[in-house]
Amino acid sequence: MYDPIPYEPLKQASFNKVNAFGINERTPPIATVPLGKLDYYNHIPKDSVGIAERTLRNPFPYTKANLEEGKVLYTRICSHCHGEAGAGDGPVGAKFKGVPNYAAGAYKTMNDGHIYHVIQWGRNRMMPHGSIVNPEERWKIAMYVRVLQRGEGPDALTKLIAKGPTNTPATTASPSELTDRAYQGPAGQAQADKASATPGQGKTVAPNGSGVTYFPGNK
């Protein structure tokens, strides 16, 4: 009962006479993607934040639901360093110093792609968080960071949702600066960095038709 006859990939009770090196885990086939992990990491080098801010586009709209989810994720994962209002005054940031204020200098003009890339790979003293948040969560955190760039703290979220552009009903509008094409999915280009519609569940067909194979045992 404790040591079943079938091989279990996450358990090694005895020498495996079939697989290489005598272990139960197998090397994933070439060109396979773990189930649900498509686009979990893109191919932009970790030190190339300039490329990221020029090429990455947020595939998610700035809706009330997305912004509020971004706020929850930011509070849970980022606020201990960056502070509730994004001023770099979180308890960890106050201890170690050097955490930027989103509403100051060049930080207030960072676009979604820049923020997404830094969340994924880290920068300077910030450690990578790509293994903590999936692509969809990164984009939503980036949205909320854009809110904090206004220097008005969390209250800016409600103002942005309610304000809307001129001559547009406030109940349905998003701020013009948040619906700008510069921060949305590019027209006429393949959206290679678009996250899965079902995060964590994967897809059976590669969205770009590249023939990528999904291998359930690849974890």
pLDDT in tens, 91-122: 998 888 889 899 998 999 999 999 999 999 99
pTM attached to this predicted model? 0.62
* CA–CA gap between residue 196 and residue 75 (Å, rounded): 24
pLDDT tens sequence across 6-31: 878 788 888 888 887 888 888 888 87
Q: What is the 3-state secondary structure (H, E, C) of 112-169?
A: HHHHHHHHHHCECCECCCCCCCCHHHHHHHHHHHHHHCCCCCCHHHHHHHHHCCCCCC
CATH of the domain at 74: 1.10.760.10
CA 12 from centroid of its chain's CA atoms: 34
Rg (CA), the chain: 21
Residue 152 has pLDDT above 50, yes or no: yes
Across 38-109, where does the E strand assignment appear? none
Specify if 213 maps to a domain: no
Structural domains counted in the chain: 1
User: Is 79 inside a domain boundary?
Assistant: yes
